[in-house]
Amino acid sequence: GAGRPGRARARARARAWMEESADEVAERARGLLLGSRLRELVRAWLAEDVPSFDYGGAVVGDRAGVAALKMKSAGVVAGKPFVEAVFAEVGCRVEWEPGVEEGVEVRAGLPRVIAHVRGPMRCILVGERVALNALARCAGVATRARALTATVRRAGWKGRVAGTRKTTPGFRLVEKYATLVGGADSHRMDLSSMVMLKDNHIAAAGGDVRSAVARARALCGFALRIEVECGSQAEAAAAVAAGADIVMLDNFEPAEFRRVAQAVRAAAPHVTIEGSGGLSEDTIGQYACPEADVLSLSIAQGCTALDFSLKVVS
């Protein structure tokens, strides 16, 4: 169509943004967190951990104390805002060691003191486990995101690795934030962030892709993009013809994925192509072809939490 070259140029501009921002996003991710939302999360975590009485805290009392926060396993530092919010809620403050920035990768000199927490002793201890849980999980997800991104960069691929919404219930904000700090894309945050028509949606809507996309467009308007999950080249062609903005090639073997991605790109230069299903640290490099814009997987599921500890020093 006459508008296709313009759409192709728009896609090229978007692709350039993806390439340029991957290494910079960790620096800006912290600005995404709203203070009121952080406090809401932290209060829920503390209420879960202290639903009634803090017996151990009563034994310790309110004398002023200091505890050292130690990083014990190698990886990416991620989760500082959550640690600070937890201890602020219980009346303590966190003082980070120089150089301990969000997104920095620590490999040597472990275990290492990365911060000190100051405040009433019982308050330090009541916040300890909640803060460590958030920090360990956040850093673990960020470390995996960093490793996955490094794998495809070594292969020369310029697209984006993205973490799907297969996240821990109640912990999505932490894990999506960690994905960004690790240098990957957060994909859609929730069902309201983007329209994704999966195979079950198409089947439940009568099996007609064109009709399903038309209904979605009538509801979401111009502000949201529409993605269609496709399990074959024919389904991908139908999604493009229906007006999908993003075509997800799902559960393809690497060679077949590359072949179909090439065909879709040749037919529709303006469409974003995403690969998903079956991707892991061992296989993601095989999907990193020039035609692919996004490779998505469950970054938060199955990742190993990093090891941190908090020890009273005075």
Beta-carbon contacts of 220 under 8 Å, excluding residues fewer than 6 positions away, are 195, 226
Spatial distance between the Cα atoms of 60 and 81, rounded to a whole number of angstroms = 27
User: Is 166 an active-site residue?
Assistant: yes
Instruction: Please state, in angstroms and as integers, the Cα–Cα distance from residue 63 to each residue in 55, 66, 118, 146, 309, following that order.
Output: 16, 10, 11, 41, 21
The answer for 302, left when phi > 0, alpha when psi is -120 to 50, beta otherwise, is left
Q: Which of 72, 166, 176, 311 is catalytic?
A: 166
Catalytic residue ranges = 166
